[in-house]
Structure 1
Amino acid sequence: MANLNERGLAHMRAGEYEEALRCFSEAVNERPDDPAGYINIGTVLAAAGEEEKALECFRQALMLDERAAAAYYGIGTVYYKREQFTEAKDMFERALALGLADADTHFMLGMSLWRLEMPRLALPYLQRAAELNEGDAEALFQLGLCLATLDYVDEAKRYFEKTLEYDPRHADAYYNLGVIYAYKDDPAAARDLFAAALDANPDHVLAGYGKKLMEKRLAP
């Protein structure tokens, strides 16, 4: 069965959801008392947008093992997608308490707290997510955003710059760096960063507004 689950995970990573479901379903048929198969099926269904069916699978896994941390994580991702952030937070906290202490769990718990407008509580989880996966540009960016919200401007600047090391086309990182340079009264640098944001995303309205504002400040 482990081989079936491994094959299913490989298909899922490749976006081959039907093949993944076939492998995981076979795994469940072979071992109906093992929660892993249900968790894997739920993960595929959630990725495919079948949220209610996914929740059923995660709950089935919890009926078999109420300490199945990955099932709580899976339920949390569905709640987060539905913008039920309090419920998502509770699920990610449960997953973390049960030992699922990877970068994704820390990140999603941090993001749930962030969306609940609790940046100070979100900060340590986003920091840990960035530590566990230094190459994750989005984790670095969200950590920078959280730091900026808490007025840790220099620390935020460092993480926005690190974001761009891993994703040189991250428009929001350029934009937020531009805001910091505008705050530091360096309109030329701010203008260039807003321009870079627009180059990465021509529809970035705030960057367009910021660039015009800086150009006015630089006008003789």
Structure 2
Amino acid sequence: MDKNTQGIVYMQEGKFEEAASLFNEVIEKNPNDPVGYINFGNLLMHMKDFEHAERFFSRATELDANAATAYYGLGNLYFEQSLYQPAQQNFQKAMELGLEESDVYYMLGLTLQNQEQFKLSLPYLLRAAELAPDDEEILFFYGLSLAQANHLKDAKATFENVIGMNPEHSDAYYNLGIISIFEENIDGALAHFNAALRIQPDHLLAANGKKNIVELLKEKDR
């Protein structure tokens, strides 16, 4: 196992000092290789040291203007700080340079979603879901963008698929409850909110949704 790979293993294990030591050795031995800088940048990201992480990612792009993963790292760095415009630009740059992984499509989709560009986010989240069909988180956020773009029928089917993958996904049940309200299916909405609360008793949105429906049903009975 080379030092870069071992450093990544240390980072995944939370052994940040050991990882930093190895990545530093890699950079000292190969100062013109962007890989060491990218890995060190990712480590600093994990440590929430955004200022220094940006320097390492930027240095990697100076060494290799086609280092797609460096731009992806910058995208993540800006996203973590809610700087969505520069995050979007860097994710797009990574894709232009040939990074074809579910994560970059997913993160670009989330970046657009956070800018309330729901329709624009859809093709990226869909592509992410195609590349990682077993990832329930990606599928859920694709469903969320569908709902936010008023594609309720497709959103409903997507949330149902999420529950098929994970029957304990409280947020999927909550969103199905909201869609049921739009469909004027009050009983269905109540059932979905109850399911969300069974899984997550402190789900405030589901609790509020249930409260509103119970009050509505009381009004009807008067």
- The secondary structure found in structure 1 opposite 2:116 is coil
Counterpart in the other structure of 1:131: 130
Letter in 1 for 2:110: M
1: CA distance, partners of 2:6 / 2:53: 20
Counterpart in the other structure of 1:145: 144
Counterpart in the other structure of 1:200: 199
1: CA distance, partners of 2:63 / 2:207: 54
Q: Number of aligned residue pairs: give it.
A: 219
Structure 1 residue 52: Cα displacement: 0.6
Counterpart in the other structure of 2:21: 22
Coordinate RMSD, CA, aligned:
1.6
2: CA distance, partners of 1:155 / 1:19: 47
2: CA distance, partners of 1:95 / 1:40: 16
2: CA distance, partners of 1:121 / 1:31: 40
2: CA distance, partners of 1:156 / 1:64: 43
The list of structure 1 runs, each at least 4 consecutive aligned residues, that deviate by more than 6 angstroms after superposition, is none
Counterpart in the other structure of 2:42: 43
Structure 1 residue 163: Cα displacement: 2.0
1:58-207 to 2 correspondences below 5 Å: 58-207=57-206
Q: Is the 8 A contact 1:171 1:197 kept in 2?
A: yes
The two structures have a TM-score, normalised by structure 2, of: 0.92
Give CA deviations for 1:31-87 in whole Å, capped at 9, x if unaligned. Answer: 111100100000011011111111111011111111111111111111111111011
Percent identity among equivalent residues?
41
Structure 1 residue 113: Cα displacement: 1.1
2: CA distance, partners of 1:163 / 1:20: 36
Structure 1 residue 140: Cα displacement: 0.7
Q: Is the 8 A contact 1:75 1:88 kept in 2?
A: yes
Q: Is the 8 A contact 1:89 1:113 kept in 2?
A: yes
Structure 1 residue 204: Cα displacement: 2.2
Q: Is the 8 A contact 1:5 1:27 kept in 2?
A: yes
Q: Is the 8 A contact 1:171 1:200 kept in 2?
A: yes
Question: Which runs of 5 or more structure 1 residues have no equivalent in the other structure?
Answer: none
Structure 1 residue 22: Cα displacement: 2.1
Give CA deviations for 1:86-144 in whole Å, capped at 9, x if unaligned. Answer: 11100100000001121110011111111112111111001001111112222111100
Counterpart in the other structure of 1:52: 51
Counterpart in the other structure of 1:8: 7
Question: Which runs of 5 or more structure 2 residues have no equivalent in the other structure?
Answer: none
